[in-house]
Structure 1
Amino acid sequence: MQTVLYARVSTTDQTAAHQRTQAEAAGFKIDHVVTDEGVSGVATVLADRPQGRRLFDMLRQGDVLVVRWVDRLGRNYQDVTETIREFMRRGVIVRTVINGMTFDGATTDPVQMAVRDALIGFMAATAQAQAEAIKEAQKAGIEHAKGREDAYLGRKPSYTRDQFVEVVDRLNSGEAVQAVAKATGISRGTVYRIRDNRAEAEAALARWAAYGNDGGVLGQIPV
């Protein structure tokens, strides 16, 4: 049996190493890391990604597949639900670092099965909804910036996407704002803003990513 971490990074300010660090900090002993870089979880289903295809070849009954959250498998509801169920049919256990979810096809209790399947659907739907919100923010940033040198996109985020993810993860784990700020190197004020309005904090990242660090208008980035 083996424990495999699948990491998907879609932007230049995300790293697979960060996802492994999170997994190991949560107590996972990782045997192998499989990574897809610069790949959209919306446009490209897992089986069509170079390393995603590898998962279907290497995972066997009794193996554990670890992902930071289900959005690393994909941002498409149908793809994510079918992927998790396919792995469960093969006897592979799927576990998430965030929230510590476990999806195991071995259970035969109908109530447990119903709860498990409902959670899979809910988490997959949430992943797709978040992706759509990000793309809307990117679209707004592009439209706002086109042809306007004085375009105002709001305050430029003082954090990367990896830092944003880590802040959210630590807050979800119940850490105090001061501890989160110290661990991530972000000011307490910024942590408070992320805590109080996570949707806007992530939208700000998307707007500036769409606009470009050099002031030029970019296309939408994968999520």
Structure 2
Amino acid sequence: MSEQVYGYVRVSSKDQNEERQLIAMREFGVRPEAIYMDKQSGKDFDRPAYRRLLRRLKAGDTLVIKSIDRLGRNYEEILEQWRIITKTKGTAIVVLDMPLLDTREGRDLTGTLIADIVLQLLSYVAQTEREFIRQRQAEGIAAAKARGQRFGRPELPVPDEFYPLFERWQDSEISAREAARTLNVTHNTFLRWAVKMGGRKIF
């Protein structure tokens, strides 16, 4: 079987338009029938078209992608997929948005080495940026909490029916679960209200 050129296109949701990636594939010369496309998040590699593509790839083939993040959004996973494709499969990769990331035959050892180094650098920078964003979000949430801002669902107000049931529970006439069922709330909600009332028996 002759060497083949394949393209892989991914958009993160069904609402996103894949046309920009498809145009780039056609301009490179990838045949329409050789383009595999997924419309879902890159958070994992449970993607049907990508799995079919990996089974099809063989030594000497070339895989074309628009940008490196089409392989995924996680530093370790991108590197792992790159290793599988280039080392295990023996398939070349061409990243259209980054000409240095081109491992096709004919490139010398230095060119291949540069591609590997650039890939690791780009993946590291992307991962670091995501961690920085998460850190800033966490710091923002912590600062908002320090100012008294509340997060999550608002706490249920204590209904009037709670108080007689609370007294009966305190007198061991009913269990906390029975009281909670009567109020149509969870067991934990009833106990949380009871604690606020200074409940003496929390079990």
Q: TM-score range by the shorter chain?
A: 0.5 to 0.7
Tell me if structure 2 keeps the 8 A contact 1:71–1:127.
no
Q: Pick closer, same or farther for the CA change 1:87–1:101 going to 2, 3 Å.
A: same
Confirm whether residue 20 of structure 1 aligns to residue 22 of structure 2: yes
Greater relative contact order, per chain length (Cα 8 Å cut-off, separation 6+): 1
Give the Cα–Cα distance (whole angstroms) in 1 for the partners of residues 84 and 129 of structure 2.
24
What is the correspondence of 1:57-206 to structure 2 with a 5 Å cutoff?
57-89=55-87, 90-104=89-103, 111-129=110-128, 131=130
Deviations 1:170-201 (A, max 9, x none): xxxxxxxxxxxxxxxxxxxxxxxxxxxxxxxx
Tell me if structure 1 keeps the 8 A contact 2:100–2:115.
no
1:7 maps to which residue?
Answer: 9
Scaled by the length of structure 1, the TM-score of the pair is 0.51
Paired residue total:
141
Q: Pick closer, same or farther for the CA change 1:57–1:138 going to 2, 3 Å.
A: farther
Question: What runs of 5+ residues in structure 2 fail to find an aligned partner?
Answer: 153-203
Give the Cα–Cα distance (whole angstroms) in 2 for the partners of residues 16 and 84 of structure 1.
22
Deviations 1:30-59 (A, max 9, x none): 3511111122x2x31x3x322221122011
Q: CA RMSD in A?
A: 3.3
Scaled by the length of structure 2, the TM-score of the pair is 0.55
1:192 maps to which residue?
Answer: none
Give the Cα–Cα distance (whole angstroms) in 2 for the partners of residues 95 and 108 of structure 1.
12
Give the Cα–Cα distance (whole angstroms) in 1 for the partners of residues 64 and 110 of structure 2.
24
Give 3-state SS (helix, strand or coil) of 1:53's partner: helix
Confirm whether residue 33 of structure 1 aligns to residue 35 of structure 2: yes
Give 3-state SS (helix, strand or coil) of 1:99's partner: coil
Cα shift at 1:106: 5.7
Deviations 1:44-94 (A, max 9, x none): 1x3x32222112201111111111111010111111112112211222111
